[in-house]
Amino acid sequence: MNTKYIILTTILFIVTNVVIWFQLNSQLVWDWAKDGKGLFFTVALAIPISLALWLGTKWGYIGFGNLWAVRFMGFATSMLTFPIITYFLLGEPMSLKVIVTICLAIIIMIIQLL
């Protein structure tokens, strides 16, 4: 394992998942994003998001030495960022089911680091 690349991958996946949240859900938060401007915003973010995930996959593969760990880290980071942002911006409650899912995502991340 190469710790430097694992850390870079994790940070990049977290940042990318935050951007993805805004790309897909800004239409639910802001009025300006409910029409063509929101669609343009979504399309404009598509290429940078794709490039960031491509780079994260590359770094993750270097760091972990296998693609499975990269996939699980990508999944786990999305399961951490999505409910937190949704809670703060849309006010959706953190149910027991959501809290358990967040805990499972953290466990998945820890398992990949072992």
pLDDT exceeds 90 at position 49: yes
What are the tens digits of pLDDT across the range 12-43? 999 999 999 999 999 999 999 998 888 999 99
- What pLDDT is stored for residue 114 in this prediction? 85
Model-level pTM?
A: 0.89
Nearest-5° angle of CA 83, CA 54, CA 18? 20
Contact call for residues 70 and 57 (beta carbons, < 8 A): yes
Instruction: Identify residue 112 by its one-letter amino acid code.
Output: Q
Dist CA 47 CA 71 (whole Å): 20
